[in-house]
Amino acid sequence: MFTEIKLPNKGLLPKAQKAVAKNLLNRFLNEMPEGTIAYVAGGAPRDWHHGWGCRDLDIFYKIPDDANVDDILSKYTLIKNPYGYSGYGVGDSQGLLSVHEYDVKDYSRSRSMSHKKVQLIRTKYDPLEVITDFPISLSRIWMDKEGKIKCDFMYRIGYNNSTIYEIHGWNYVYLNKILGRFDTYVFMPKYWDRKTEEEKLA
pLDDT confidence of residue 97: 86
Task: Give φ, ψ of 149 to 5 degrees.
Answer: -100, 130
The predicted model scores a pTM of 0.88
Domain annotation covers residue 41: yes
Please check whether residue 45 lies inside any domain of the structure. Answer: yes
* Domain contains 201: no
Domain with 91 in it: 3-152
Summarised one tens digit per residue, pLDDT across range 40-86 is 998 999 999 999 999 999 999 999 999 999 999 999 999 876 555 54
Q: Using alpha carbons only, what angle is made at residue 34 by residues 31 and 36, rounded to the nearest 5 degrees? A: 80
Residue 183 falls within a domain, yes or no?
Answer: no
CATH number assigned to the domain comprising residue 133: 3.30.460.10
Nearest to 14, CA basis, from 43, 56, 52, 40: 52
* Helix, strand, coil content of the chain in percent (nearest 5): 35, 25, 40
pLDDT bin (cut points 50, 70, 90) of residue 17 is very high
Is 185 within a domain?
no
Give the C-alpha separation, 185 to 12, whole Å.
Answer: 24
Residue 122 counted as domain residue? yes
Report whether pLDDT(6) > 60.
yes
Q: Which residues of 82-101 are buried (b: 16+ CB within 10 A; e: fewer)?
A: eeeeebbbeeeeebbbbbbe
**For residue 170, which of 96, 109, 111, 88 has the smallest C-alpha distance?**
88
In which band, very low, low, confident or very high, does the pLDDT at 197 lie, cut at 50, 70 and 90?
Answer: very low
Instruction: Check residue 191 and give its pLDDT.
Output: 74
Q: What is the model's pLDDT at position 92?
A: 47
Least confident window among 61-70, 138-147, 193-202: 193-202
The total domain count for the chain is 1
Q: Within a domain: residue 39?
A: yes
**For residues 79 and 176, what is the distance between their CA atoms, to the nearest angstrom?**
24
Say whether pLDDT at 39 is over 90: yes
Phi first, then psi: give them for residue 101, nearest 5 degrees.
Answer: -140, 150
The arithmetic mean of pLDDT across residues 4-30, rounded, is: 93
Q: Is 65 domain-assigned?
A: yes
Q: What is the pLDDT of residues 88-142, one digit of tens each?
A: 444 445 578 889 999 999 999 999 998 999 999 999 889 999 999 888 999 999 9
The two most distant CA atoms of the chain are separated, in Å, by 63
Could you read off the pLDDT of 156-182 as tens digits, one per residue?
A: 999 999 999 998 876 777 777 788 889
Residue 195 has pLDDT above 70, yes or no: no
* C-alpha torsion angle, residues 28, 171, 191, 202 (rounded to 10): -130
> First-to-last CA distance in the chain?
41
